[in-house]
Structure 1
Amino acid sequence: MASMRGGQAVRQSHIKLQQLSRHSRRQFSSSPTSRGYQDTVQNLRIGKHTRVIYQGFTGRVATSNARDSIAYGTNIVGGVTPGKEGEHLGLPLLPDLRKAKEQLKPDATAVFVAAPQCGKAIEDAIEAEIPLIVAVAEHIPLHDIMRVTSILKTQSKSRLVGANAPGIIAPIGFCRIGFQPLPTFAPGHIGIVAKSGTLSYEAVASVTRAGLGQSLCIGMGGDIIAGTNIVDGLKVFEQDPETEGMIIVGEVGGRAEEDAAEWIKDYFRRTSKPKPIAALVGGIYAPGGRIMGHAGAWAARGEHTAAEKYKILQDAGATMVDHPEKFGGVMKTLLSQSGRDVSKITGNPADQKRGYHTAKRRGPMVHSTRPSTLFQRQQQSRKLHLRAEQAPQVLKPYLENLEGVTLTQDAAPPDAFYVGLTVDRTERQPCIRTSSTTDVKTFRETAKRFPFDQRSPPSDSLIASSISHINAPSSSTKPLTALISALAKMYTEKEAVTISSSVSISSTGQLQLHTPSMVLQFDDSAYRSNARHEDIHSLRQKSKEQPEEVEAETSGIVFIKLTNPEANIGTLVNGAGLAMNTIDALRNHGGHATNFLDTGGKATSETVKKSFELILKDERVKVIFVNIFGGLTDGGMIAEGILLAFREVEMRGVPVVVRIRGTNEEVGQRTIAESGLDLEAFDGFEEAAKRVVEIAGGGK
C-alpha cells in the first residue's frame, strides 16, 4: 500500500514514543535492581499485625466496608481522600498517600476507588511503596492494568491483589482487606486462592462446615490480568506455618491453572511431606469463543480448555472436585491421608503459635449487603468483537501507507502463518504472538508469545525475533516488520485485547491479511469506564447479536443462550464462576442447561424478576434452577425476588427449584418453603441438582 516511506514513518514514530517513554517514566521504587516483583509475594501474609488504610476512605462504600472490617478485628489505622484532612470513623483522614505513609506507616491499602480513577490510585500506592495494594473495583481498563503491571515489574516493594477481586482475608488473624462476606469465614488452617468470588465463598463455607476453617484466602479476580495469581498464592501457603492444606479455584481462560500445575509437580518432587492440594476448574462445558461473565473468562486461540486444565491439575497431583461444596470433606480426607492429625487441625486456632492471630473480635460485626456502584455491574462488561467485514474500515488508517501489505477477502491458504497482538496473562503484559502455521491441531505447539512493556512499543529486536519464529522468506522481513509495528501501534492506541490475522505471501511477494480469519477484540471497559474510543465502540452491531443477551445487558445481567438441543433446564445464578460451575455440575448429574445467567455479585429482587423473564423466553425450558450463594447477595432478598417473579411474570407452569446458601440462607429457605407456590427449596447442591434433573426428565 503506497510507498515504503509510510512503513518507515510508523517505525520512526514508535522510536520517538520509546524515547519519550523512557525519559518520562516515573521511578516508583528505590529498591535494589537485583530484586523484583516476585520478592513481594510474602507481603500477602496479612494478620493481626497488618496496618490497613483506605484510599477513597470517605466514600460511602469504603465507609460501610471499613465499619464492618473494624468490627471484625482488622487493624485499620486511617485513610486517604484527596483534598480532605481530619478524622473519619474516629481515625486519621489524610489528603494524600505521602502523608499517610509518613504518619500511619501502613502495611496495606484497600483501594476503594471507582474504575476510571483506580489505575492512577494504584500507581500512587506503588510510588508510595505501600507493601500490599488491594484493588476491588470492576471495569478497570485492561491497558490501565497492563501499565500498572509494567510498573510493578520494575520494583520490589509493592504487591497488588486484583483488580476485580474480592480481596484478601486472613480469618485466623481477623484481617480483611476487601469485601468478602464475613459470616462465611472461620479461623483455621486451609489456604484458598481463587479466580471466582462466589465459588471461593462456596469453598470457604464448605471448609467452615467441615470444621477446618481458613488461614488465608486470596481472591485472584476474574480480569484478564491479575496482580497476584494462583502460583503466588501457593508459594505463600507453602511457607505459612498455619496453613495445612491448599485449595485452588480456577476457571476457563488464561494459563494460571497450568502454571499452578507446574508448580505443584515441582512442589511434590522437592517436599517430603507436602501439604495436600484440592482444586476445581469452572467452565468445563463453557461454549467456545464466549466470555463467561468475568472479563478474563474466555480461552484465547490455542489455550487449553477448562476440561483440559482440570486434567492437567489432576495429573500434577491435585485432587479434583466438581463442586466447591465438596471441598471440606475432601480436604479432611486428604489431611488424614497425609499423616496429619485432623483433630488438632480442627482445634481452636487461638492455641496456634502465631501470636498476632489470637486477638478476639472487637464488638459486634454488622455485615452490609447493600448494592454499591463500586461492585455492582451497571452494565455487564463484555469485550467488543468486530466482525470480519468491518476489518478494512478499522485497519485502514494503520495499514494504508504500508508497501507490500494488502487486505483480501479470500480464505487463508494452507501455507499461511499467524501474526497477532494479544495479552500474555502469565507475564501480565501485551505480546506479539506468531506461528508458522494457522493449523488448529498444531497451533498450540507452534505459536509463541513475545511480551513487551505496555508503556513502550515493541523493540526492533523483539519484532525481529517474532518474525524469525515464523520462518518467512527474508524478502518479507521489511513488510512484516512494518506490519507488526503498525498493528502494535493500533493495539495500544485503540486499547485492543487481541488483533490477529492469518497472513500469506502472494505470488508477487505481497503480504496478504485474510480478513475472514481476523480477530478484532477491543476493551469494553476503556469505553464504559473512561469514555475512550467511541469511534471503535460505535461500530458494535447489536442487531446481529442474540436479542435476549442484549436485553439482559441493559439490566446488568450476563445471559448466554446455549444451543444444545437436549437442554431444558433454565439456570439463574449469582456470580460468573458459580454460574459456570452450575452448568458443569448439572451435566455431571445428566442435565443440560439452556443458558448461562450471571445476575452479578449483588443481585436484587428486580434483577431476579428480569432473569426469570429472560429464561422463560426459551420454550425449551421445563424447569428453572435458582442456585444462589449469599455472599454479597442476601438470601432473604433473593427469595423475595423469586416471589415477585411469580406474581408478575407469566411462569407458564414451569416449576422452580431453589438452592440458597450463605447470608440469611435460613430466611430465604423458609420464605420459599412457606410461599405455597410451585417452588422447592434445598440447602445442599447435590440434592437440588438431582431434583432438577428428575423434573427435567419428566419426573414431578
Structure 2
Amino acid sequence: MYRTIRRCRQITGKNTRLSRRFATTTTLHDYAETLPNLRIGSHTRVIFQGFTGKQATADARDSITWGTKIVGGVTPGRTGEHLGLPVLPTVRQAMEQLQPDATAIYVAARQAAGAIEEAIAAEVPLVVAVAEHIPLHDMLRIHSILKTQSKSRLVGPNAPGIISAVGRCRIGFQPLPCFAPGRIGIIAKSGTLSYETVASTTRAGLGQSLCIGVGGDILPGTDLREALQVLESDPDTDAIAIIGEIGGTGELDAAAWIKDYHARAKTPKPIAGLVAGLCEVRGHVMGHAGAFTSVGEPDAKAKIAALEDVGVTMVNHPSKFGAVLKARLHACGHGRGLDEVGGNALGKAGQRRRLHTVLRRPGQREHQRQQEREREQRRHLHLAEDQCMDLLRAAGQANCGSYSGHGDRRLLGIGIDRSTRSPCIIAAPLAAAAAASDDLPVQAVKRFPFDFRRGPDELAIERIAGHLQLTTKGNAAVESLRQLIKSLMTIFYEREAFSLTIHIVERLGAIKVVGARFGFDDAAFRSAGRQGHLQSLRDLAGEDEAEAQAAKSGIVYIKLEGESKTIGTLVNGAGLAMNTVDALGDAGGRAANFLDTGGKATSLTIKESFELILRDPRVRVIFVNIFGGLTLGDMIARGVMMAFEELSLAVPVVVRIRGTNEAKGQKLIADSGLPLFAFDGFEEAASKAIELSRSS
C-alpha cells in the first residue's frame, strides 16, 4: 500500500535521498549505546567540517586558545593547512588520518544534513551540528539513519554545542568568558538561558563541569533525558541545572527519568530547573524552530508541575540557579570548596568603567550581515482551510465539506513525535468542548509513531480506527480511514509538512473531512530551495503586519493581547525572550510583546526592534534584556543609543546588559547622557520597568 509513498520520500534535492550504506533492520535501542560519546574533555580530538569558513575559523581559533584539542578539519575539494592544522577533503580521510573523537559541523543549513550523514558514515563518535533552519524532513531522514547504528552520537542542530569547562573542550560557539571549571552540569534547550545559568553558577563559586546544549530544534539529536543519563555518572558533576521550554514532551520524559533516578540512587545529585514559555501564544513559533506546542503536547505549566513533582527545585530566572544549587549542595553535605572557583571569570557585578567607545553608524559590513539575516529568517507556513481541502482532494479524492452538525467529530493527523524522533499519526475522539479547537488534554491524544522510510503498517491503521471508535462492522469505515491516511501521507512527504490535522466524522460507514489545518516547513524553501510552489499559496493578507515586517529583518515579534500589557520587551535569544516575559509576569509586570532579536543581532537590528515595539500604543516603557553570547554588549548599547537619537523616544528605557563585552556596553550607556536606566541584575531591572510602566 505504501510503495507509492516510499517513492515520494525522495524529496527534490540531492541531499534528501537515503543512503544505501545504512542498514534498516537494527533496533531503535542501538543509538543509546552512543551516549558515552558525550563525555568530552581534555582528551577529545576535534575536527571542523567547513573548517576554512569565516565562523568556523573564528570559533576554532578561540577554542584552541582556550585549550581545546582541535586537530584539523574538512573542506570539500581542498587539501593543505589552515590555522597551522591539516585540511582534508572528506570526513572519511580526516577520520583515517587525524582520528578525531568529535566533529563540529559549520556549514550552511542546506548542506548540514549531508555533512551530518557524511560524519555518521565515517563513524565519527560525536557529531555537533550548530546550524539553524535545517529542513525538518532532512532531519527526519538523519534520525532514521541514526537509529540504525551505534557509533555516532548527534548534538543539535540549532544548538550552541557542548562544552567541558573542566576539560577545556569547547565544540560550538559558547561565550568562553562566562565559564569556570567546577561542579555543575547544565542541560539546556536555549543557548542564552544556558549562558545566564553558566554566569550565575560562576558567580556563586560553583563553576561548571559538562554543559550540553541540546538545542531548540524540533528533532534534537540528544534530548534532555539522555543528557541527564550522562551527567548522572559524570564524576565531575555534583549538581545539575536543566533548562526546558515549550514544545514536545522532553521535560515530561526527563521528569520520569528523575523519578526513577531518585528511587534507585542512594545519594542523588541535586537538580534545579527552569521551563520557559508560560507566555506562549498558541499557533505561533516562539523563536526556536521547536518552540511551539502541538496538538496533545503539554504546555509550560504542565512541564513545571511534572518536574516539581519529582523533586526538582524550579526557578523562574536563570540568574537564580547559582544560589539555589549552592544551597542544595550545602543541604546534602557537599558544601566544601564551594567558593574556590569562578571568582575572576566574570569580574564583579559592579565592574563597568573601562574603555570609552564612540557611537558608530552601521557600515557596509553591518548592512551585509542584515541582508544575511533576512535570507535566514524562517517561518512555518500555514494554509487556509479551503486550500488544505483542495490538497486533500488532489491527493486522494477525499470527501471534504462543511460540518452539518451530525456525527461525532474526531481529530486525525500526521505530526512529529519528538520523543521517538519520528513522524507519527495523531488521533483523538473529540469531546464536545474541544470540537472547535485542537487544544486537547495530553491524555486525550494518542500518537502512533512510524518509520520515516516505511510509513505506518496495517496493524497501526487498525489500532487507530479502534482509538477513534470508528464502526468496524464491514470494515467500510476502516478502509475509508486507510485511504484518507494514505492521502495525508502523500501530502506529508511530497510537500514536506510538519503538521497535518483534520477533523472527521463518520457517516454511513464512510469518513468525511469537515475541518483542516496544515503546516509546512518553510526552511525547505528558504534553506534548500524546495517547495517553492507552496509560497504562492501564502495568504499575506492574513498575516500580522508587524510580525511580517519583523521577519524581514530577522526578528521574531509577537504581540501579546491585553490592555494592561504595557512593557515592551527587547531580548536576544528565543529562550531568554520567553523567560523575560514569564519572569516579568511573576514580578507583577505585563509584557506587551515577545521579541527575539536573534543570536546575531546588530545595532541596526536593535533600532528596528525599537521601531516595532513603539508601533504599539500600549507601551509605556521598554525593557532591554540582553545576555551576550554571540551578541556583543557594546553593539547592543550602540543600537539603544541610535534608537534614542533617531526615533526621539518618548518612553523610558530600562537596559540590562550582561555577558560578552558587558563592561563596554554598560559604560557606553552610563556615559551617554541619555535618560536610560541601566542595571546589572535582572530583578532590579524588572522592578524598575514595572514601576515605570505604572507611573508613565
TM-score (norm 1): 0.91
Q: Secondary structure at the match of 1:343?
A: coil
Aligned mates of 2:512, 2:237 — CA distance in 1? 56
Deviation track 1:534-589 (CA, whole Å, cap 9, x = no partner) reads: 12222111222111111111111000011111111100000010000000011111
Within-5 A mapping of 1:522-561: 522-561=520-559
Q: Cα distance, 1:625 vs. partner?
A: 0.3
- What is the one-letter code of the residue matched to 2:425? I
Q: How does 1:257-656 map to 2 (within 5 A)?
A: 257-340=251-334, 342-347=335-340, 378-400=375-397, 405-410=398-403, 415-437=408-430, 440=434, 443-474=441-472, 475-506=476-507, 508-515=508-515, 518-651=516-649, 653-656=650-653
1:85 to 79, 104, 113: 79
What per-residue deviation string (whole Å, max 9, x for no partner) do you get for residues 198-223 of structure 1? 01100110001111111011111111
**Deviation string, structure 1 residues 176-230 (Cα, Å, up to 9, x no partner):** 0001111111111100000011011001100011111110111111111100000
Structure 2 CA distance for aligned equivalents of residues 34 and 393 of structure 1: 37
State the 1:399 CA deviation.
2.4
Q: Which aligned pairs between 1:664-679 and structure 2 lie closer than 5 A?
A: 664-679=661-676
2:660 maps to which residue?
663
SS at match of 1:63: helix
**Contact 1:212/1:346, CA 8 A, preserved across alignment:** yes
Following TM superposition, by how much is the alpha carbon of 1:531 offset from its aligned partner in structure 2, in angstroms?
A: 1.3
- Closer/same/farther in 2, CA of residues 326 and 491 from structure 1, 3 Å limit: same
Q: Shift of residue 269 of structure 1? A: 0.7
Q: Matches of 1:157 and 1:534 in 2, distance apart? A: 36
For residue 494 of structure 2, what is the amino acid of its counterpart?
E
**1:465 CA drift (Å):** 2.6
Q: Separation in 2 of the partners of 1:84 and 1:394?
A: 46
Corresponding residue number in structure 2 for 1:170? 164
Q: What one-letter code is carried by the residue in structure 2 that aligns with 1:432?
A: I
CA-to-partner distance for each residue in 1:517-547, whole Å, 9 max, x for gaps?
x220000111110111112222111222111
Q: Work out the CA distance in 2 between the residues paired with 1:102 and 1:640.
A: 48
Paired residue type of 2:514: H
RMSD value, Cα: 2.3
Give the counterpart letter for 2:505 in structure 1.
Answer: S
- Pick closer, same or farther for the CA change 1:464–1:18 going to 2, 3 Å: farther
Show the counterpart of 1:14.
Answer: 5
Q: Give yes or no for contact 1:249–1:280 (8 Å, CA) kept in 2.
A: yes
Unmatched segments (≥5 aa) in structure 2: 12-16, 343-364
Task: Specify the SS of the correspondent of 1:503.
Answer: strand
Give, in angstroms, the shift of residue 452 of structure 1: 1.3
Pairing of 1:37-116 with structure 2 (within 5 A)? 37-116=31-110
* Structure 1 residues 244 and 446, CA gap change in structure 2 (3 angstroms): same
Answer whether contact 1:458 1:488 (CA < 8 A) is retained.
no
Greater shift, 105-114 or 471-480, is seen at 471-480
Q: Against the structure 1 CA distance between its residues 293 and 457, is the aligned structure 2 distance closer, same or farther, given a 3 Å change threshold?
A: same
Q: Distance in 2 between matches of 1:67 and 1:388?
A: 51
Change over 3 Å in CA distance of 1:657–1:414 after alignment to 2: farther
**Structure 1's 412 and 243: CA in aligned 2 closer, same or farther, altered over 3 A?**
farther
Q: What is the identity, as a one-letter code, of the residue corresponding to 2:643? A: A
Which amino acid counterpart does residue 450 of structure 1 have in structure 2? F
Deviations 1:432-464 (A, max 9, x none): 111233553865223211111212332223333
What amino acid sits opposite 2:529 in the alignment? Answer: A
- Measured after TM superposition, the shift of residue 660 of structure 1 is 0.4
* In 2, Cα distance between equivalents of 1:564 and 1:468: 43
1:697 aligns with: 694
Cα deviations by residue, 1:89-143 (Å, 9 ceiling, x for unpaired): 1111111111111111110000101100100110111111100000001110001
User: Aligned residues, how many?
Assistant: 660
**Structure 1 gaps, min length 5:** 1-9, 350-368
Does the 8 Å contact 1:419/1:435 carry over to 2? yes
The one-letter amino acid of 2:298's match is H
Cα distance in 1, alignment partners of residues 107 and 406 from structure 2: 49
CA 1:33–1:462 in 2, change beyond 3 Å: closer, same or farther? Answer: closer
Letter of the 2:600 counterpart: K
Distance in 2 (alpha carbons) for counterparts of 1:676 and 1:12: 70
Deviation at 1:394? Answer: 2.5
CA distance 1:486–1:389, shift in 2 (3 Å): closer
Amino acid at match of 1:589: A
Q: Which of 127, 130, 137 pairs up with 1:133?
A: 127
- Report how far residue 343 of structure 1 moved: 2.8
User: What is the alpha-carbon distance in structure 1 between the residues aligned to residue 369 and residue 620 of structure 2?
Assistant: 34
How far did 1:345 drift?
4.6
Question: What is the identity, as a one-letter code, of the residue corresponding to 1:447?
Answer: V
Cα separation, 1, equivalents of 2:199 and 2:555: 25
Cα distance change, pair 38–374 in 1 and its aligned pair in 2 (3 A) = farther
The 3 A distance-change label for structure 1 pair 30 and 535 is closer
Q: Offset of 1:33 from its aligned partner? A: 6.5
Per-residue deviation at 1:376? 5.6
Aligned CA distance change for structure 1 residues 661 and 685 (closer, same or farther; 3 Å): same
Pairwise CA distance, 1:410:
2.2
**Cα distance change of structure 1 residues 537 and 64 upon mapping to structure 2, 3 Å threshold:** same
Equivalent residue, structure 2, for 1:179: 173
**Equivalent position amino acid for 1:272 in 2:** K
* Structure 1 SS opposite 2:51: coil
Give the aligned partner of residue 5 of structure 1: none
Task: Specify whether residues 96 and 438 from structure 1 end up closer, same or farther in structure 2 by C-alpha distance, changes over 3 A only.
Answer: farther
Secondary structure at 1:288's aligned position in 2?
coil
Aligned with 1:632: secondary structure? coil
Distance 1:413 1:565 in 2: 40
Paired with 2:404 and 2:35, the residues of 1 have a C-alpha distance of 47
% same residue: 53
Instruction: Normalising by structure 2, report the TM-score.
Output: 0.91
Matching residue's letter, 2:5: H
Distance across 2 between alignment mates of 1:494 and 1:24 = 17
SS at 1:647 equivalent: helix
CA distance in 2, matches of 1:622, 1:34: 53
Distance 2:310 2:290 in 1: 24
